[in-house]
């Protein structure tokens, strides 16, 4: 059992990841700007804005985590090109340094497929060049590259969970799957592109399983957190329509595909499966079924 | 005339750069942890540790600079692989963001030849890959890449002065030229390697001229600040011995060349000369003469 500090613990990825870490027997200290109303009672919650560095340092000294998982970042709409990525990169670098100062010996940061050169199609951790096309990807890559280069100086293992595309219960409403599910459950047409793009979509609980396993492992460097298999967006949204019983509401081709959309973004997941030892994920259809069922249970679903 | 904020203004590069900016007619607000005793009276000094973000924000609001030059960084011995590079990267990113918030519309940051892949030999801003081999280079590159990617979001022009090797009055004693000059002036043998390496060495006042011109220009992106011409280290230190009148004290070959030293690190300076419009630098022999003369005037020279 370790004492694990988790930032961004109240977020879409944070919530199921905290559950996984608790189930693995860890003592979890969760940091969030606001403690969620219905959080797991086993968690030690700490309300903190990560930009408040002095308060963070005091918290770290009190908790003295063995391991940490840094998920917090601004991902509000427009975040891909927002100047808020700079303070988030800054606070992340300060966090990494401060963790080392209190004796934390392993850190997993949340990376992203936005760090890769997307012309590659299939992204492999060691071969595929990094070439972010967004400020978000650039800032994340800057933090993760610097943290990794500092590993020896910090006497801290650094692993980077490069999260690809995802969906599931609690997804922010503006995202693709949440938007389509909520639209069709509300009886509204979901305007989609023609959906020729192929993306690597993983159920959020499997993302959580990957990140929690990475915290527990000794693997360092970047590790793709993904299904390892692409799905055409058209097939994904068609599946949602079928599962929700409203296939006629899937408006394929209602919207133009934005110029410059990469045709394929898929992860190689050999490191995740073979080195970190994470089991195969939930089949896509089952994951969509669970997601639709969860949204059905939410009160007052209106299209986002 | 602009209001220019300069960080690291009391440092080796900062001092002559501030003079250049004043001579160009700018109002200079200089930030340093401690105001130098014999600073230029035309400067508005502000004693501030850049890690104290709240104080920095208050200062920026009061000064409201049009342009800024960010030179401050930890370059104490061992800095190449020190974990202190993380808080410096963090504070630099916060500074960039805070400058934008108070309406600063042009920022020049201090880059470094340590950002380049040194197997290239001659480094060109747009062609030569970046591949830092030190934590310092990684952290600097992270800041500069992120700042540059954020230029549109920040509504701020970003230029990066990639400073190569340098020497001159006031150089920290542990550095090559300062060490050799001080040794031979003290009548002590200066232990050197065989000096086959070729490096691009520029007189500090010419570094200052390049950075000040970059502040005044509209050029964005990285610009090499260098002579654009290599010198064998053996020739450089031999010249020092001759100028100081003690050629017999230059101990070429006294020390082993460290393994993995890149044979050639030289800058292409076409951007600096043609786009920024900076004149040719002082000839190397004259720069060494001025440097030796300066060290002769210092009290109690003992070998560093």
Q: Mutation test of the interface with chain A: which of B102, B133, B150, choosing the one with the most A Cβ atoms within 10 A?
A: B150
Residues B105 and B143: their CA atoms lie apart, in Å, by 18
Residue-level pLDDT, tens digit, chain A, 304 residues: 899 999 999 999 999 999 999 999 999 999 999 988 877 889 999 999 999 999 999 999 999 999 999 999 998 889 999 999 999 999 999 999 999 999 999 999 999 999 999 999 999 999 999 999 999 999 999 999 999 999 999 999 999 999 999 999 999 988 999 999 999 999 999 999 999 999 999 999 999 999 999 999 999 999 999 999 999 999 999 999 999 999 999 999 999 999 989 999 999 999 999 999 999 999 999 999 999 999 999 986 554 4
The predicted-structure confidence for B24-81, as pLDDT tens digits, reads as follows 999 999 999 998 887 788 999 999 999 999 999 999 999 999 999 999 999 888 999 9
A56 touches chain B (CB under 8 A): no
Backbone angles phi, psi at A285, to 5 degrees: -60, -40
Residues B220 and A254: their CA atoms lie apart, in Å, by 40
For position B37, what pLDDT does the model report? Answer: 84
- A-chain residues near B139 (CB < 8 A): 146, 149-150
Q: Looking at the partner chain, which of A83, A149, A154 has a beta carbon nearest the beta carbon of B100?
A: A83
For the segment B268-282, the average pLDDT, to the nearest whole number, is 98
Query: Cα angle at A151 between A148 and A152, to 5 degrees?
Result: 140
A124 burial level (CB within 10 Å; 0-12, 13-18, 19+): middle
**What is the token pair recorded at B266?**
């030289």
Q: Are the C-beta atoms of B251 and B190 separated by less than 8 Å?
A: yes
- A-chain residues near B86 (CB < 8 A): 93-94, 96-97, 146-147, 150, 154
Q: Are the C-beta atoms of B162 and B224 separated by less than 8 Å?
A: yes
Residues B211 and B228: their CA atoms lie apart, in Å, by 15
A186 touches chain B (CB under 8 A): no
Distance from the Cα of A93 to chain B's closest Cα (Å) equals 6
Q: Looking at the partner chain, which of B83, B87, B154 has a beta carbon nearest the beta carbon of A83?
A: B154
- A-chain residues near B149 (CB < 8 A): 132, 135, 138-139
- B-chain residues near A82 (CB < 8 A): 153
For the segment B96-120, the average pLDDT, to the nearest whole number, is 97
Residues B7 and A160: their CA atoms lie apart, in Å, by 33
A105 burial level (CB within 10 Å; 0-12, 13-18, 19+): middle
B153 touches chain A (CB under 8 A): yes
For position A302, what pLDDT does the model report? Answer: 53
Q: Mutation test of the interface with chain B: which of A54, A80, A89, choosing the one with the most B Cβ atoms within 10 A?
A: A89
Residues A60 and A55: their CA atoms lie apart, in Å, by 9
For position B304, what pLDDT does the model report? Answer: 47
**What is the token pair recorded at B93?**
């990113």
Question: Which regions of B125-272 does DSSP assign to beta strands (E)?
Answer: 157-163, 165-167, 190-191, 198-199, 201-203, 221-225, 231-232, 250-251, 264-267
Whether residues B138 and A152 touch (CB distance < 8 A) is answered with no
Closest-approach residue (CA) in chain B for A85: B150
- A-chain residues near B82 (CB < 8 A): 153
Whether residues A138 and B154 touch (CB distance < 8 A) is answered with no
Residues A231 and A219: their CA atoms lie apart, in Å, by 28
| Sign of the Cα pseudo-torsion (B18, B22, B26, B30, in order) | positive
How many CA atoms are closer than 13 Å to the CA of A11, on its beta-carbon side?
A: 21
Whether residues B87 and A100 touch (CB distance < 8 A) is answered with no
B142 touches chain A (CB under 8 A): yes
Is the pLDDT at B302 greater than 80, yes or no? Answer: no
Q: Are the C-beta atoms of B233 and B258 separated by less than 8 Å?
A: no
For the segment B136-149, the average pLDDT, to the nearest whole number, is 98
A138 touches chain B (CB under 8 A): yes
B146 touches chain A (CB under 8 A): yes
- B-chain residues near A154 (CB < 8 A): 83, 86
DSSP letters, A275-302, are IS-PPPPPPHHHHHHHHHHHHHHSSS--
- A-chain residues near B152 (CB < 8 A): 81
Task: Reduce the DSSP state of residue B249 to 3 states and report it.
Answer: helix
Distance from the Cα of B115 to chain A's closest Cα (Å) equals 12
- CB pairs < 8 Å spanning A and B: 96
Higher local confidence (pLDDT), B299 or B8: B8
Distance from the Cα of B141 to chain A's closest Cα (Å) equals 8
Is the pLDDT at B247 greater than 70, yes or no? Answer: yes
For position A304, what pLDDT does the model report? Answer: 47
Residue B148 contacts by C-beta under 8 Å, 6 or more apart in sequence?
B158, B160, B220, B221
Residue A301 contacts by C-beta under 8 Å, 6 or more apart in sequence?
A182, A185, A186, A295
The predicted-structure confidence for A26-47, as pLDDT tens digits, reads as follows 999 999 999 888 778 899 999 9
The predicted-structure confidence for B177-234, as pLDDT tens digits, reads as follows 999 999 999 999 999 999 999 999 999 999 999 999 999 999 999 999 999 999 999 9
A86 touches chain B (CB under 8 A): yes
Closest-approach residue (CA) in chain A for B100: A83
């Amino acid at each position: 059992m370790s004492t694990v500090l988790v930032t961004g613990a109240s977020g879409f990825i944070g919530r199921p990841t905290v559950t996984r870490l608790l189930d693995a027997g860890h003592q979890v200290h969760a940091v969030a700007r606001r403690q969620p109303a219905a959080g797991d009672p086993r968690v030690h919650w700490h309300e903190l804005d990560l930009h408040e560095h002095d308060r963070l340092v005091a918290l770290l000294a009190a908790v003295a985590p063995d391991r940490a998982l840094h998920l917090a970042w601004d991902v509000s709409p427009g975040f891909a090109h927002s100047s808020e990525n700079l303070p988030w990169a800054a606070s992340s670098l300060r966090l990494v340094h401060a963790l080392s100062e209190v004796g934390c010996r392993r850190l997993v940061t949340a990376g992203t497929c936005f760090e890769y050169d997307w012309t590659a199609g299939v992204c492999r951790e060691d071969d595929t060049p990094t070439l972010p096309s967004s400020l978000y990807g650039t800032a994340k890559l800057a933090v993760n590259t610097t943290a990794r280069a500092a590993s020896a100086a910090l006497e801290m293992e650094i692993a980077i969970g490069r999260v690809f595309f995802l969906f599931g219960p609690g997804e922010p409403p503006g995202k693709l799957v949440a938007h389509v599910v909520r639209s069709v459950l509300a009886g509204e047409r979901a305007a989609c592109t023609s959906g020729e793009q192929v993306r690597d979509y993983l159920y959020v609980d499997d993302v959580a399983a990957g990140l929690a396993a990475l915290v527990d492992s000794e693997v360092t460097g970047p590790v793709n957190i993904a299904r390892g298999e692409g799905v055409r967006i058209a097939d994904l949204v068609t599946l949602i329509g079928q599962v929700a019983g409203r296939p006629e509401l899937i408006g394929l081709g209602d919207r133009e595909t934005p110029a410059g959309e990469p045709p394929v973004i898929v992860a190689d997941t050999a490191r995740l499966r073979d080195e970190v030892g994470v089991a195969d994920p939930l089949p896509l259809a089952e994951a969509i079924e669970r997601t639709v069922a969860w949204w059905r249970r939410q009160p007052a679903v209106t299209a986002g």
